[in-house]
Amino acid sequence: MNVIAFNGSPRKEWNTATLLKSALEGAAASGAETELVHLYELNYKGCTSCFACKLRDGKSYGHCAMRDDLAPFLRKIEAADGILLGAPVYLGCATGEMRSFIERLVFPFFTYTDPPISLFPGKARLGFIYTFGATEEMAAQRGWNRSLPESGAFLERIFGPVEHLLVYDTLQFEDYSQYVATRFDPAQKAVRRRDVFPQECRKAFDLGVRLVQDCKK
């Protein structure tokens, strides 16, 4: 049993990464071997529309033909039992690194048939953690709390049901006085980081547990 997580944040020790680590701790506590990959450390790009993955009888049919730092991890995913994705929300959507990763992850397994079918060779379960600097109310006003999980429809077509964890009002800076960010209350952010964020980490831990339990069914 193995679970691999992909951090779509440029920070390796902050909100998204911490939550992914908590989820992996839950997976490990349930008996899985785990690995955390920081996407911003890899040299890769999104889909280039070469269509090698769609070429009839082609050697890369159903697989991404691009050769870069992401390629070996895409192969690992095919053998994974669980996959965890995590990204902060930038301008209303996941980071560009995560978006490029999802293009490379999904498109080779998605067929141009009617109806489309999944070419994914395994049965991996998938979880997605989003982190927001915005409050839950701000996200709801803009529809992000609905649009982001709904944008995972292609992931669900390939991997089946995706469990989402949305974490709001995260602490973006250790010292807000050094930045122009007057929209937020630094004291309130600090209290939330102290009192609420540990609860969110526990939710992430439980997500990791459920992911492994579902894999065992």
The token pair at 180 is 């122009």
pTM comes to 0.92
DSSP 43-111: ---------GGGSTT-TTTTS----STTHHHHHHHHT-SEEEEEEEEETTEE-HHHHHHHHHHHGGGB-
Summarised one tens digit per residue, pLDDT across range 56-112 is 988 999 999 999 999 999 999 988 999 999 999 998 889 999 999 999 999 999 888
Enclosing domain of residue 85:
2-216
Of 137, 160, 169, 132, the residue nearest 148 (C-alpha): 132
CB 158 within 8 A of CB 121: no
Judged by DSSP in three states, 119 sits in coil
The tally of domains found in the chain comes to: 1
CB environment 159-172: b (16+ within 10 A), e (fewer): beebebbbbbbbbb
Indicate which CATH number applies to the domain containing 54: 3.40.50.360
Helix axis angle, 15-29 to 197-216, nearest 10°:
40
Task: Kindly state the average pLDDT of the residues 53-58.
Answer: 91
d(CA 188, CA 113): 51
Point out the least confidently predicted range of 40-54, 57-71, 112-126. 112-126
